[in-house]
C-alpha cells in the first residue's frame, strides 16, 4: 500500500515537471469552436476539433515556423514564398507522405484567409488504415510562420453536411499577435 | 551489387528472424509453419509466408509504374536471359514500382521488383540485362531459401544451448556470434555468386559485359555504397578473363534509352517532389540529352531549378522556360512559371506580359485563378526588361 502511494506521488511529480518543462506553446490565432464540437488536446502547436471523432470529420489548424522543413520532402518555405509556391510545397509533402495513398488533387486556387493572400487546396487520399478522406486545405504565410487550416471528412455526406460549419470556423479565424522568431 | 539483390535477402532474413523469435516466444501457437525442425520443407513454407506478407506490403506501399514500351523491352531482355537457363518465359515476372530509391529485389516465386529510381540510372540494355540476371540467379539458385534454412539451423542450435547448464551459456553466446558472422559471410557469398553467375548469364545472352558493368558507374552513389571494391574488381577480372573469347559479339545500338524517356520524366518529377534536386536534375538532363526538342523536358528542368533556388538557378530556369515556349508556344504553363520568376525578381512588366500571354492560352481553371490574382496585384511600372 505504501509502495503504491509512493508510485502515485512520483507520477504526480513527474506530470507537474513535464508540464513546466515543455507543454503546448501558446497559439497565435483564435477561432470560434462551433457548438457541439470538441477540442482534442495535443502537445503540438495546433488546434484539433471534431464533432463525431477524427474518423468522421475534423478541423485542424496548425502553425509552424518557416525554418522547419516539411517531414517527408524536407522542403522549406521562406518569407518571400508566393502562395502558389507554398501550395506546391504542401502538395509535394502530401505526395511524399508514406502514410498517404491514392492522393488526388481536385483543386488548387488562390484564397484569402483573415485578409491575407494564401491558397486553397481540395484533395482526397486514403490513410494508412484505409480510410478515404476528402480535405479542404487553406494555407498562408505570415511573417516567419506558415498557417494551415484544414477540414476533412471520411464520407461525402458528412463532408457536405459540416462544410458550412467549417466555413464559419474559417471566417472566425484571426491571428492574435505576431510571434517572435 | 548492392543496388540490386542485396536488400531482399536482408529483408527475408530479418523477417525470418522475427518469425523465429515469435515462434520461440509462443511455441504453442499454430499461426506460423512448424519451424522447430530445420528441414527444407519447413524453411520453404516459412519463406513462402514471409514472401507473401512482404509482397502484400510492397503492393500497399508503392504504386506500379506503367509504361508499355518499357515493359515490352523488359520482357524481351528477360526472355533472352531465361533461354540459356532453360527456364520457361513465365517462370519470372517483373514488377516496375514507382519508387525513387535505386533498388531491385526478387522473391522466390519469381517476382522481380525494379524501382524506377534504379532504371532511371541505366544507360544501355546490357546494364539492364546484368541487373535482371543478378536477380534471376537469386531466384533460380534458391538463395532466399538458403538464408532461411541457415537461420532455422541457427535457431535450433540456440534452442539446444538454452537447455544446457549455466557453464555452457558463454559458449552458446560465442556460438551465436559465430552464426551471425557466418550469416553475413553467407549473404555476401550469395551476392557474389549472383554477381558472378549473373555476369556469366549476360555473356551467354550475347550482351557486352563491359557495357553491363558500366552500371556501377551509373547508379547513384548511395546504391554503390554497399558494394565492396573487391566485388567490383572480381567482376572486372571475370570479364577480362572471359570476354576476349567472345569478343566478336557486339551489342547493337539497342534503342534502350528511347524506351526510358518517359520514365526519366516521371523520375525527375518524383525526385523533385522529394526535394532530391541532384537526382531530379540528372534525370531531366538525361531526358533532354536524348530529346532536346521536347518542350516538356525544358519545362521540367526549369521547374526543378526554380524550386531548388540555388545560386544562378533562376537564370537557368528562365532560359529553359524560354526554350520550352519556343518549342511549344501554345503551352501556358511555361509562360506562367516564367512570369512567376520575373515577379519574384521584381521585373513586373515582364511578369505581366507572361501572365497575360498565359491567360490567353486557356490555362486550367486553377492556373487561370492564380494568373488573375497575380495580374490583380501587379504594380504597373515603366521599367522594360527584355526576356
Q: Going residue by residue through chain B, which has 387 residues, state the pLDDT in tens, using 9 for 90 and above.
A: 434 444 454 455 444 444 444 433 333 333 333 445 557 788 888 888 888 888 998 888 888 999 999 999 999 999 999 999 888 888 899 999 999 888 899 998 999 999 999 999 999 999 999 999 999 999 999 888 888 887 777 776 666 655 555 545 545 554 554 555 556 566 788 888 898 999 999 999 999 988 898 888 777 555 555 566 777 777 777 777 766 555 445 445 568 889 999 999 999 999 999 999 999 999 999 999 999 999 999 999 999 999 999 999 999 999 999 999 999 999 999 999 999 999 999 999 999 999 999 999 999 999 999 999 999 988 866 454 444
Query: Do residues A52 and A165 make contact, with C-beta atoms less than 8 angstroms apart?
Result: no
Chain B partners within 8 Å of A73 (Cβ):
273-275
pLDDT 10s digits, A9-60: 444 444 444 444 445 678 889 999 999 999 998 888 899 999 999 889 999 9
In this predicted structure, the answer to whether residue A96 has a pLDDT above a threshold of 70 is yes
Alpha-carbon gap, residue B104 to B78, rounded angstroms = 15
Alpha-carbon gap, residue B364 to B371, rounded angstroms = 10
pLDDT 10s digits, B244-270: 555 445 445 568 889 999 999 999 999
Query: Do residues B318 and B338 make contact, with C-beta atoms less than 8 angstroms apart?
Result: yes
Instruction: Give the per-residue pLDDT at B226.
Output: 52
Chain B partners within 8 Å of A101 (Cβ):
60
The Cα of A173 is separated from the nearest Cα of chain B by a number of Å equal to: 22
Chain B partners within 8 Å of A113 (Cβ):
none
Alpha-carbon gap, residue A165 to A149, rounded angstroms = 13
Name which of B333, B337, B343, B366 to mutate to probe chain A: the one with the most chain A Cβ atoms within 10 A of its Cβ.
B366
Q: Using the 8-state DSSP alphabet, how is residue B64 labeled?
A: B
Residues B273 and B242 in one domain: no
Residues B238 and B271 in one domain: no
Instruction: Give the per-residue pLDDT at B373.
Output: 95
Domain-located, residue B262: no
Closest-approach residue (CA) in chain B for A92: B273
Closest-approach residue (CA) in chain B for A106: B366
Alpha-carbon gap, residue A150 to B281, rounded angstroms = 33
Domain-located, residue B298: yes
Residues B240 and B371 in one domain: no
Residue A106, all three cell numbers: 481536385
The SS3 of residue B115 is strand
What domains sit in chain A, N to C, each tagged with a CATH number? 26-175 (3.40.1000.10)
Residues B50 and B147 in one domain: yes
Query: Do residues B145 and B51 make contact, with C-beta atoms less than 8 angstroms apart?
Result: no
**Domain ranges, residue B34:** 6-246
Residues B353 and B289 in one domain: yes
List the single residue in A82, A95, A117 with the smallest CB-CB distance to B273. Answer: A95
Residue A54, all three cell numbers: 477524427
Domain-located, residue B108: yes
Three-class secondary structure assignment of chain A: CHHHHHHHHHHHHHHHHHHHHCCCCCCCEECCCCCCCEEECCCCCEEEEECCCCCCEEEEEEEEECCCCCCCCCCCCCCCCCHHHHHHHHHHHHHHCCCCEEEEEEEEEEEEECCEEEEEEEEEEECCCCCEEEEEEEEEEECCEEEEEEEEECCHHHHHHHHHHHHHHHHHCEECCCCCC
Residues B157 and B72 in one domain: yes
Q: Is B215 exposed, middle or buried (0-12, 13-18, 19+ CB in 10 A)?
A: buried
pLDDT 10s digits, B331-364: 999 999 999 999 999 999 999 999 999 999 999 9
**Are B365 and A101 within 8 A, CB to CB?**
no
Residues B359 and B271 in one domain: yes
List the single residue in A73, A84, A101 with the smallest CB-CB distance to B275. Answer: A73
Alpha-carbon gap, residue B366 to B307, rounded angstroms = 19
Residue B307 belongs to domain with CATH number: 1.25.40.10
Alpha-carbon distances of B352 from B319, B337, B339, B341, B357, rounded to whole Å: 18, 12, 7, 11, 8
**Are B274 and A72 within 8 A, CB to CB?**
yes
Domain-located, residue B303: yes
Taking alpha carbons only, the member of B305, B300, B308 closest to residue B324 is B300
Residues B331 and B217 in one domain: no
List the single residue in A82, A96, A109 with the smallest CB-CB distance to B366. Answer: A109
**Are A92 and B275 within 8 A, CB to CB?**
yes
Residue B177, all three cell numbers: 556470434
Residues B220 and B283 in one domain: no
Chain A partners within 8 Å of B304 (Cβ):
none
The Cα of A109 is separated from the nearest Cα of chain B by a number of Å equal to: 5
Kindly write down the DSSP assignment for every residue of B157-218, as one continuous string.
HHHHHHTS-GGGHHHHHHHHHHHHHHHHHHHHHHHHHHHHHHHHHHHHTT--HHHHHTHHHH
Residues B274 and B358 in one domain: yes
Residues B225 and B306 in one domain: no
Instruction: Give the per-residue pLDDT at A32.
Output: 95
Domain-located, residue B86: yes
Residue whose grid cell is 501572365: B355
Residue A37, all three cell numbers: 464540437
The domain total for chain B is: 2
In this predicted structure, the answer to whether residue A8 has a pLDDT above a threshold of 80 is no
Query: Do residues A166 and A138 make contact, with C-beta atoms less than 8 angstroms apart?
Result: no
Residues B237 and B276 in one domain: no
In this predicted structure, the answer to whether residue A79 has a pLDDT above a threshold of 80 is yes
Amino acid at each position: 500500500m505504501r509502495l503504491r502511494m509512493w508510485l502515485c506521488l512520483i507520477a504526480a511529480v513527474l506530470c507537474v515537471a513535464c508540464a513546466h518543462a515543455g507543454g503546448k506553446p501558446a497559439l497565435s490565432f483564435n477561432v470560434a469552436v462551433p457548438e457541439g464540437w470538441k477540442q482534442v488536446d495535443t502537445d503540438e502547436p495546433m488546434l484539433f476539433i471534431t464533432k463525431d471523432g477524427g474518423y468522421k470529420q475534423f478541423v485542424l489548424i496548425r502553425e509552424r515556423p518557416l525554418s522547419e522543413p516539411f517531414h517527408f520532402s524536407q522542403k522549406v518555405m521562406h518569407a518571400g514564398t508566393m502562395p502558389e509556391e507554398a501550395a506546391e510545397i504542401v502538395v509535394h509533402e502530401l505526395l511524399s507522405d508514406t502514410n498517404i495513398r491514392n492522393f488526388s488533387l481536385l483543386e488548387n486556387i488562390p484564397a484569402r484567409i483573415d485578409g491575407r493572400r494564401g491558397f486553397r487546396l481540395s484533395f482526397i487520399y486514403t490513410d494508412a488504415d484505409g480510410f478515404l478522406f476528402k480535405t479542404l486545405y487553406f494555407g498562408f504565410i505570415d511573417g516567419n510562420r506558415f498557417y494551415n487550416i484544414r477540414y476533412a471528412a471520411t464520407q461525402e455526406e458528412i463532408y457536405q453536411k459540416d462544410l458550412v460549419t467549417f466555413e464559419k470556423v474559417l471566417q472566425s479565424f484571426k491571428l492574435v499577435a505576431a510571434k517572435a522568431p | 551489387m548492392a543496388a540490386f539483390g542485396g536488400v531482399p535477402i536482408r529483408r527475408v532474413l530479418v523477417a525470418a528472424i522475427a518469425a523465429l523469435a515469435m515462434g520461440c516466444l509462443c511455441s504453442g501457437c499454430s499461426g506460423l509453419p512448424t519451424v522447430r525442425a530445420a528441414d527444407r520443407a519447413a524453411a520453404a513454407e516459412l519463406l513462402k509466408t514471409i514472401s507473401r506478407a512482404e509482397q502484400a506490403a510492397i503492393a500497399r506501399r508503392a504504386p506500379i509504374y506503367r509504361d508499355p514500351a518499357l515493359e515490352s523491352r523488359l520482357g524481351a531482355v528477360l526472355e533472352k536471359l531465361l533461354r540459356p537457363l532453360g527456364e520457361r518465359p513465365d517462370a519470372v515476372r517483373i514488377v516496375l514500382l514507382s519508387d525513387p530509391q535505386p533498388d531491385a529485389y526478387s522473391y522466390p516465386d519469381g517476382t522481380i521488383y525494379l524501382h524506377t529510381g534504379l532504371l532511371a540510372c541505366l544507360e544501355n540494355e546490357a546494364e539492364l540485362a546484368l541487373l535482371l540476371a543478378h536477380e534471376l540467379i537469386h531466384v533460380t539458385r534458391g538463395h532466399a531459401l538458403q538464408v532461411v534454412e541457415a537461420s532455422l539451423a541457427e535457431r535450433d542450435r540456440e534452442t539446444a544451448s538454452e537447455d544446457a547448464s549455466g557453464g555452457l551459456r558463454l559458449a552458446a553466446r560465442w556460438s551465436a556470434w559465430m552464426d551471425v558472422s557466418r550469416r553475413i559471410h553467407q549473404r555476401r557469398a550469395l551476392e557474389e555468386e549472383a554477381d558472378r553467375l549473373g555476369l556469366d548469364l549476360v555473356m551467354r545472352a550475347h550482351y557486352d559485359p563491359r557495357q553491363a558493368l558500366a552500371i556501377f558507374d551509373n547508379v547513384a552513389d548511395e546504391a554503390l555504397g554497399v558494394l565492396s571494391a573487391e566485388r567490383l574488381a572480381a567482376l572486372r577480372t571475370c570479364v577480362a578473363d572471359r570476354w576476349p573469347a567472345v569478343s566478336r559479339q557486339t551489342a547493337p545500338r539497342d534503342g534502350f534509352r528511347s524506351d526510358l524517356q518517359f520514365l526519366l520524366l516521371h523520375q525527375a518529377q518524383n525526385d523533385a517532389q522529394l526535394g532530391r534536386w541532384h537526382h531530379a536534375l540528372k534525370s531531366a538532363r538525361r531526358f533532354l540529352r536524348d530529346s532536346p526538342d521536347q518542350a516538356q523536358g525544358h519545362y521540367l528542368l526549369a521547374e526543378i531549378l526554380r524550386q531548388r533556388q540555388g545560386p544562378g538557378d533562376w537564370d537557368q530556369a528562365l532560359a529553359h522556360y524560354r526554350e520550352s515556349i519556343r518549342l511549344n508556344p501554345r503551352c501556358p504553363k511555361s509562360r506562367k512559371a516564367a512570369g512567376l520568376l520575373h515577379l519574384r525578381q521584381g521585373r513586373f512588366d515582364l511578369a505581366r506580359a507572361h501572365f497575360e500571354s498565359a491567360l490567353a492560352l486557356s490555362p486550367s481553371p486553377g492556373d487561370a485563378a492564380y494568373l488573375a490574382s497575380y495580374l490583380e496585384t501587379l504594380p504597373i511600372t515603366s521599367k522594360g526588361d527584355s526576356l
